[in-house]
Amino acid sequence: MNVAKMIDHSLLRPELTTADVRHGCEVAARRAVASVCVRPSDVGLARAALDGTGVLVGTVAGFPHGDTLTTVKAAETRALVEAGADEIDMVLHIGRLRSGDDAYVHDDIAAVVAAAQGRVVKVILENVYLTDEQKVAGCRIAERAGAGFVKTSTGFAGGGATLADIQLMRATVSPHVEVKAAGGVRSLDTLLTLHRAGATRFGATVTEAILDDFAARERGEPPADAPSTGSGY
């Protein structure tokens, strides 16, 4: 099992300096994770830092609330692709989903998918605000609109990935659509539990602690305690 290639190393906190982002990219490259997920303004920096490493550059659109105009989300996505982004994590319009305006939500996602020009788009539902019925609706809309992933959370809304949500999302979308868990993935045990439930990618800030724990267990050492600090993204 290659745990590193399941992790999107998150560099989204608003207070991060450029030095913090560069260091995060160094960590991502050294640990050979799947990607970094950086703020839009940091895509160029991350692209330069990670070229040739095999680590993808991911970023966000309409983040963290999802309520910007569709035209703005699409324009942002085009600019991010031009800057070198490989993957786009977009927030769907949470209020419109809760309102039952499926057509708006679909067209909003589809516009970003088109603007991504073949790059993977991960659609963030922000499950903490949704009923199970709304989660199912959001997943189905995202799939119809061409998303490659459905994702639990931004990590900035007071709730994160749960086992029940991963199971529900995996059961809702077709096999070709993947599920990303974000928010509260602070330990290897959490990651492995959610992986068994169907998640294939994980947003994490405590990447090194998770990978160190995995390596220790591979050597037969006892599990480490979960980190007590860090963003839940």
- State the catalytic residues: 89, 151, 180
Residue with tokens 């996505």: 77
Q: In whole angstroms, what is the distance from residue 194 CA to residue 190 CA?
A: 6
DSSP letter (8 states) at residue 101: -
Alpha-carbon span 124 to 183, nearest angstrom = 11
DSSP letters of 31-100? HT-SEEEE-GGGHHHHHHHHTTSS-EEEEEESTTT--S-HHHHHHHHHHHHHHT-SEEEEE--HHHHHTT
Nearest Cα residue to 37 out of 53, 21, 49:
21
Location of structure tokens 């990670």: 50
